[in-house]
Amino acid sequence: MELCASDITVRFAGVKAIESVSVALGRGEILGLIGPNGAGKTTMVNVLSGFQRPHIGKVAIDGAGTQGRSEPWFARNGVVRTFQAVRLFRGLTVSENIEAALSSLSISRLSARRRAAELLDYMGIGGKAGLAGGALNYGDERRVGIARALALSPKFLLLDEPAAGMNIGEAEDLSRLIQQIRRDFSCGVLLIEHNMALVMNTCERLHVMASGKTIATGTPDEVVANQHFKSAYLGSEAA
Ligand SMILES: Nc1ncnc2c1ncn2[C@@H]1O[C@H](COP(=O)(O)OP(=O)(O)OP(=O)(O)O)[C@@H](O)[C@H]1O
């Protein structure tokens, strides 16, 4: 059971954002997708979730092809992602933002409200259900973004920089939460993150990209010892 992107190439105006990259995410694993700015990480998540069609290569969900499918189909088939910019409806309450995500499922408004309350409790922000979406701080916005993704019962959850704007303590809580989500939802989690402590503490396996290509894969220990990782990733991060 896996979400698999094989030999993916994506070009923008002739420039290769991703070149011949393959990524596989198993159910029940936490995979970190890391690399310097502009490495192609978000583009790969866009490909894996149906937001971007690859120019070359294929995506399969549990072995089934996805050619010609758009992002709502991917979500219905268990591939759910969050965004770097959370894009909450600012005029709706936090609860209503989750209920809106549930509206594609055929459940009553009352059930949607109850499910939204459960998910907000699960994310530790049950007390904020009645606030306006626009009133949240950065970290809480990201928690709502994850709750909104969980509303769709993901088999594969793709998180694009979920710890941006969080302090050290909040990022540690997020690490525990991601591991709990993997257990409670029996899903695979792909984590794009620049917070290396969070990545190293949370992921079992890492896939490192730079300039649109794969430069290293392996366990966190293996990757940290990899020369390509040290020079390309840490070199540019340290600059
Ligand atoms: N819609 C687009 N049009 C043109 N170029 C794009 C587009 N999206 C991404 N790119 C380019 O593709 C490359 C990869 O970008 P991408 O956002 O996937 O990198 P990233 O690793 O997610 O970076 P970051 O860590 O900064 O979010 C970059 O050179 C970027 O400028």
Phi, psi of 38 (to 5 degrees): 80, 10
Q: Is residue 106 part of a domain?
A: no
| pLDDT digit string, tens, across residues 90-112 | 899 999 999 998 887 788 889 99
Banded model confidence at residue 238, pLDDT cuts 50, 70, 90: very low
CATH of the domain at 48: 3.40.50.300
What's the number of domains the chain is made of? Answer: 1
Q: Give nearest CA residue, ligand 1 atom 12.
A: 17
Q: Give nearest CA residue, ligand 1 atom 8.
A: 43
User: Which tokens hold the place of 118?
Assistant: 């459960």
Banded model confidence at residue 85, pLDDT cuts 50, 70, 90: confident
Query: Does the beta carbon of 26 lie inside 6 Å of ligand 1?
Result: no
State the average pLDDT over residues 182-211.
96
Distance between CA atoms of residues 24 and 173, nearest Å:
26
Structural domain for 180, as ranges: 2-88+139-238
- DSSP-based helix, strand, coil % in the chain, nearest 5: 40, 25, 35
Q: Is residue 119 part of a domain?
A: no
Indicate whether this complex's ipTM tops 0.85.
yes
Q: Give nearest CA residue, ligand 1 atom 26.
A: 37
Alpha carbon of 53 to ligand 1 centroid (Å): 15
State the average pLDDT over residues 125-130.
96
Alpha helices, DSSP H only, in the chain?
Answer: 41-48, 71-76, 94-102, 109-122, 138-150, 168-185, 196-202, 220-224, 227-228, 235-238
Query: Does the beta carbon of 38 lie inside 6 Å of ligand 1?
Result: yes
Query: Does the beta carbon of 143 lie inside 6 Å of ligand 1?
Result: no
pLDDT given at position 84:
87
Q: Is residue 100 part of a domain?
A: no
- Say if residues 94 and 120 touch (Cβ distance below 8 Å): yes
233 Rama sector, left if φ>0, alpha if ψ -120 to 50, beta otherwise:
alpha
User: Which tokens hold the place of 206?
Assistant: 């890492």
3-class state of residue 104 by DSSP: coil
Phi, psi of 8 (to 5 degrees): -85, 130
Q: Give nearest CA residue, ligand 1 atom 2.
A: 12
